[in-house]
Amino acid sequence: MSTSHTTTLHLHTAFTVDVVDPRIFGGFLEHLGRAVYEGVYEPTSPHADDLGCRTDVLNALKRLRFTAMRYPGGNFVSGYHWQDAVGPREKRPKTRDLAWQSIETNQFGPDEFMQLSNRMDWTPMMAVNLGTGTPEEARNWLEYCNVEGGTRWADLRKEHGHEKPHDIKLWCLGNEMDGPWQIGHVPAEQYAIVAQQTARLLKMCDPSVELVVCGSCAPELPTYLEWDRKVLEHCKDDVEYLSVHRYVGNEDDNTPEFLAVTNSIDRQIEATDSVCRSVHHTKKTKRRVYLSVDEWNVWYRARTGEHVDGRGKFAPPLLEEVYNLEDALVAAGFLNSFIRHADSVKIANLAQIVNVIAPILTRGDEMLLQSIFYPIEMYAKRRTGVSLQTRVEGPGYESKKYGHVTYLDSSAILNGDQLSVFLVNRDLENSAEIKIDLADRNILSLIDAEIVTGKDPKLANTYDCPGLIQSQAFTELSISGGKAVVKLPPMSVYAATLQLDR
């Protein structure tokens, strides 16, 4: 029989973490599977706009309010040559992508991405090829994108019909170079030298750019954190951000364990940040390097065999994870962790945005919103403000892998006289009565709130039943003496905006 337990979420407006950087609500679009082709770009679709992009997909993406959008990879970028994908389409070569064993037609390239990005109001975040590419190739690309004109590569952009520079401020120095699977993978010392050479060239070409250097892409790798330290010691003064990647999964089919993974996301962020702080402190650098969690998601079902091997095809269906309710709770856990660490995490990118480990799927002219779509939408709406420290007082359970977890996972953002709270009830059986206790201000009223919940952690949307998991308005909340109380059903993600007294 289902019962209820009580938890208090303690907050105080003076106990702030930092301003939440809007770029933690970023996305990632890679030339992989059906992400670009059949995902965002499908000129033959009845949904296509004048750029050949699918308006149904773009409208759904708009609901997620993505900020930083990373492109064009991923593993793909480590064999990519940007010059293949610019200029007249009929002259662009067909190329082999060895990372995903697929065919790339280059019909959608960086200039098309920039047109799309401007239309979507994204902040472009370009990754350069440091697998088979050179620092000079990267620098040429930057000139092509950011320099007004009068020199070779900038003039080439103009010739291609893009008179004004794209003015791209965020650049990633390669992708997952610590991963043995990466094209051009080398030891940390070797990568650090090339990353630094590239960083210096890029900044000589355009000093206004901000750079992300590759950090450890998985805690399981033997070089975890040692790689980060070596790379940072070498590149600390040349880069602004250190890249962190994190994919999680429920391989053991144990939902409570899976929901406890948030603990280890916190620890990964804290451990990596501690390397940044330690290099900053011991090497007496002027500024700290911050974190860019530029790939994160649940990914474990479509991770091997035919799911990752394109078998020489164009736009093969790869990494097409189907997301369920428990995944939605874990996605919310990632976002809570980023908000709680607003002082160190400045960029985070959901990997990815459509068809490939994505909140949105397409099938022919149809589109399906997956479970993880909804928490991301609920959080993104309320992302403006300052993150508050959260203190949770309430029951929990012991996880074998991740230690003690409270049933409630939470984060909070203060925006003037409005407080947004983000709550996940990880209890599979029982509802949770949550008291929101903001010590120094009174809560006056509920502005709005939504919930995602369901009876079965494995429940997922399908093309036949697309509304099994979705967000719903949830207005049941009582306020007394300036404190709010909300009763959350088992397995739920809740986001609310509350009006405070002045």
One character per residue 302-341, x = contact with ligand AHR (rule: CB under 6 A):
----------------------------------------
74 near ligand AHR, judged by CB under 6 A: yes
Q: Helix, strand or coil for residue 424?
A: strand
Q: Which of 17, 24, 27, 30 binds ligand AHR (CB under 6 A)?
A: 30
Between residues 295 and 377, which has the closer beta carbon with respect to ligand AHR?
295
Q: Which stretch binds ligand AHR (CB under 6 A): 9-17, 47-55, 68-76, 206-214?
A: 68-76
- The residue type found at 433 is E
User: Using CB atoms within 10 A of its CB, is residue 222 exposed (0-12), middle (13-18) or buried (19+)?
Assistant: exposed
CB 319, min distance to ligand AHR, A:
6
Q: Which stretch binds ligand AHR (CB under 6 A): 72-80, 374-382, 384-392, 430-438?
A: 72-80
Report which of 385, 290, 297, 292 is spatially closest to residue 335, judged by C-alpha positions: 297
CB 134, min distance to ligand AHR, A:
20
One character per residue 156-175, x = contact with ligand AHR (rule: CB under 6 A):
-------------------x
CB 462, min distance to ligand AHR, A:
24
Q: Which residues are catalytic?
A: 176, 295
User: Using CB atoms within 10 A of its CB, is residue 30 exposed (0-12), middle (13-18) or buried (19+)?
Assistant: buried
End-to-end CA separation in angstroms for the chain: 43
Between residues 172 and 477, which has the closer beta carbon with respect to ligand AHR?
172
Between residues 104 and 143, which has the closer beta carbon with respect to ligand AHR?
104
DSSP 176-237: -TTSTTSTT---HHHHHHHHHHHHHHHHHH-TT-EEEE---S-TTSTTTTHHHHHHHHHHTT
176 near ligand AHR, judged by CB under 6 A: yes
User: Using CB atoms within 10 A of its CB, is residue 494 exposed (0-12), middle (13-18) or buried (19+)?
Assistant: buried
Q: Which of 67, 337, 352, 471 binds ligand AHR (CB under 6 A)?
A: 352
216 near ligand AHR, judged by CB under 6 A: no
Question: How far apart (Å, rounded) are the C-alpha atoms in residues 91 and 348?
Answer: 35
Burial 241-268 (b: 16+ CB within 10 A, else e): bbbbbbebbbeeeebbbbbbbbbbbbeb
CB 254, min distance to ligand AHR, A:
24
Report in angstroms the alpha-carbon separations of 194 from 130, 139, 146, 171, 478.
Answer: 8, 13, 22, 15, 58
One character per residue 253-292, x = contact with ligand AHR (rule: CB under 6 A):
----------------------------------------
Between residues 81 and 441, which has the closer beta carbon with respect to ligand AHR?
81
Report which of 495, 342, 347 is spatially closest to residue 419, judged by C-alpha positions: 495
Q: Which of 73, 124, 165, 215 binds ligand AHR (CB under 6 A)?
A: 73
75 near ligand AHR, judged by CB under 6 A: yes
Report in angstroms the alpha-carbon separations of 329 from 52, 303, 401, 420.
Answer: 34, 20, 18, 18
**Pairing between strand 4-11 and 431-438?**
parallel
Between residues 48 and 218, which has the closer beta carbon with respect to ligand AHR?
218
Residue nearest to ligand AHR according to CB distances in the complex: 74
Catalog residues that contact ligand AHR under the rule CB under 6 A: 30, 73-75, 175-176, 295, 351-352
